[in-house]
Amino acid sequence: MADTTLTWLGHASFRIDTPGGKRVYVDPFLHGNPKCPDAEQEPERVDVIAVTHGHGDHVGDTVELARKHGCTVVAQVELAGWLGKQGVPADNLRDPNKGGTVDVDGVKLTLTNAHHSSSAPDGSYAGEPCGIVVEVENGTKLYFAGDTCVFGDMQLIGRIYRPDVAILPIGDHYTMGPREAAVALELLGVKRCVPCHWGTFPVLTGRPEQLQELAPDAQVERIEPGDSVAV
């Protein structure tokens, strides 16, 4: 099988092109995202959307994309209920909770714990924030931590799921910064990291170079929005 391609769309938004030909979007904040490239704001195809929590910079364009493309949307149960009320067809929603796994045509998505807050863009209760482990068809695993601080049970996430790459927020202020992200990599036992949730707004001051200095044994990918890495 081909490699998995991970493309950063700015902020915490990503596109995964899987070895089996699926196109998975995680936290598709495209319109209104000042770092999302213009060419990425109108996806030509979407097979799956996964959302970590209810904040507007993560739910983003989920409802509009689901309506347009008829794709499957995976979100924690309360958030999935809210998305359904916004117009995502019930048949397209998958609503696990933390620890639960759903299989969407060979792509497995598992919700994990995260420490943050969560409410829908209209202020509604949106359940709890989550991380997501995405396992693609050839067994490669990508851990999206979502918006979170570091927490000790990241060691369990590493032990149970053994991710090949960790996608960690490093901006600070609203999430962990480089200092905590370096410890997160240690707890996870992961040697490769794609940083996100940095550089979008002035308050997000953490930078990949700082994380690399604090985690010298890790491979910290320094990519710009629109860039891709093979996993």
Q: For residue 107, what are its two tokens?
A: 């792509």
**Rounded to the nearest 10 degrees, what angle do helices 77-85 and 62-69 cross at?**
70
Q: What percent of the chain has pLDDT over 70?
A: 100
pLDDT tens digit sequence for 136-145: 999 999 999 9
pTM, two decimals, is: 0.98
Per-domain residue ranges of the chain: 5-219
Average pLDDT along the chain: 97
| CATH number, domain 5-219 | 3.60.15.10
- Inter-residue contact 146 to 170 (CB < 8 Å): no
SS3 content of the chain, % helix, strand, coil (to 5): 25, 25, 50
Q: Tens digits of per-residue pLDDT, 1-53?
A: 579 999 999 999 999 999 999 999 999 999 999 999 999 999 999 999 999 99
Tokens 């609503």 belong to residue? 95
- Do 164 and 132 meet the contact criterion of CB atoms below 8 Å apart? no
Query: In a 3-state reduction of DSSP, which class is residue 96?
Result: coil
**Burial bucket for residue 103 (CB in 10 Å: 0-12, 13-18, 19+):** exposed
| Mean pLDDT to the nearest integer, 128-157 | 98
Find, among 202, 200, 201, 223, the residue nearest to 211 by Cα: 223
Q: Is 35 helix (H, G, I), strand (E, B) or coil?
A: coil
pLDDT in tens, 81-127: 999 999 999 999 999 999 999 999 999 999 999 999 999 999 999 99
Q: How far is CA 219 from the centre of its chain?
A: 19
Q: What tokens does 136 get?
A: 């693609």
CA distance 209 to 62: 31
